[in-house]
Structure 1
Amino acid sequence: MGLFGLFTRRPHERAGFALYGAAVGAARQPVYFDRLGVPDTLDGRFDLVSFHVALLINRLRHDSDAEGPKLAQAVFDAMFADMDVNLREMGVGDLVVGKRVKKMWEAFHGRAAAYESAFESDDLPALAEALARNVWRGEAPAGAAVELAAQAGRIRAALAAQPLAALLKGEVRFPPAPPEAVAA
């Protein structure tokens, strides 16, 4: 690799960061914290970001175009580059950052696998159970996990309707979380 190779961007890097940023924005909707009772903590925010990114990656990984999985990897890379930067900004020492990012990667992978399994089997109760276990550590407010699982369905449908060409440009729309309870 020549010197100029050090300064080139990886394929889809810019779009991956844009899509990841949109997922973070969607995860920050106040309704998740105010009405669904997601803890407004580092863990709670990480879980909501992981939820949105997992849905986005799931959409991209299953695209029939070979660029979809490549873009999914770029979104994943953007997420963990951001986690690294955030830990450093919070004052976590250089020697510990790698270990913390690895733990976050493992946590994300476990959550994404549980959510994907429920998506693929179209099992809303299993998804709600996985969300309760991860987002609320097993203590979800009444109906909140079922409602977040229903939101996953709305997000999946919205993402599926968006063309890969737009996603490759870093353009994505996440539906807003409904302000009123959907599940009783």
Structure 2
Amino acid sequence: MFGLLRRRPHERTGFELYSAAVAAAREPWAFAVLGVPDSLAGRFDLISMHVALLIRRLRADPDPRGALLGQAVFDAMFADMDVNLREMGVGDMSIGKRVKGLWEAWHGRTLAYEAALDAGDSPALAAAISRNIFAGHAAADAAGPQALAAYAEALAAALAAQPLAGLLSGQLRFPPTPGDIVP
């Protein structure tokens, strides 16, 4: 019985890192400058990108605590999604189905972003961002997705340079607002 009351490894730090990723995803430049739709879907997609890159960094660490912390960030994201759906009035009976749909969307996007980053393929990353984040929106000209892809590449590099010890203590630094990266 008392085992049920224990926290999972890195739970608090996972929420701290997730919260930092959400704050970075809410920076107004992506909406105002790049034309990311300021909607539930647009915000979800930016949060998804930031969290996917953070988890990618944590999973890549040779220290097994990196993968555990990555799982804690993932758990924090989907616990937050559950809470947000409930706050928006989604009924208890459909929460599981909605969260599963969000997970599937996040997972597909993550695979596309990771494949492009791992291959060093900037055009493929911009295409994935265009398809997912700018899908069906007139503002999805080449400049927005390319600029966001450049930011994602800078973000991946910045995350890779951060030591696991800092991440384990909840310290996460995002690159500055990418005004100087926009092509």
Shorter-chain TM range is: over 0.9
Asked if 1:172 corresponds to 2:175, the answer is no
In structure 1, the partner of 2:3 is 5
In structure 2, the partner of 1:111 is 109
Structure 1 runs (4+) greater than 3 angstroms displaced: none
Which residue of 73, 76, 79 maps to 1:75? 73
SS at match of 1:36: coil
In structure 1, the partner of 2:40 is 42
**Equivalent AA in structure 1 for residue 172 of structure 2:** V
Aligned length: 181
Q: Which runs of 5+ in 1 are unaligned?
A: none
| Aligned Cα root-mean-square deviation (Å) | 1.1
**Equivalent AA in structure 2 for residue 123 of structure 1:** D
Q: Which runs of 5+ in 2 are unaligned?
A: none
In structure 1, the partner of 2:150 is 150
SS at match of 1:165: helix
Using structure 2 for the length normalisation, give the TM-score.
0.96
In structure 2, the partner of 1:90 is 88
Taking only the aligned residue pairs, the percentage that are identical comes to: 64
Which residue of 39, 58, 61 maps to 1:60? 58
Q: In the TM superposition, what is the alpha-carbon distance from 1:169 to its structure 2 partner?
A: 1.2
Contact 1:166 1:172 (C-alpha < 8 Å) held by counterparts = yes
1:26-41 to structure 2, matched below 5 A, reads 26-41=24-39
Which residue of 107, 118, 121 maps to 2:119? 121
Q: In the TM superposition, what is the alpha-carbon distance from 1:141 to its structure 2 partner?
A: 2.9
Using structure 1 for the length normalisation, give the TM-score.
0.95
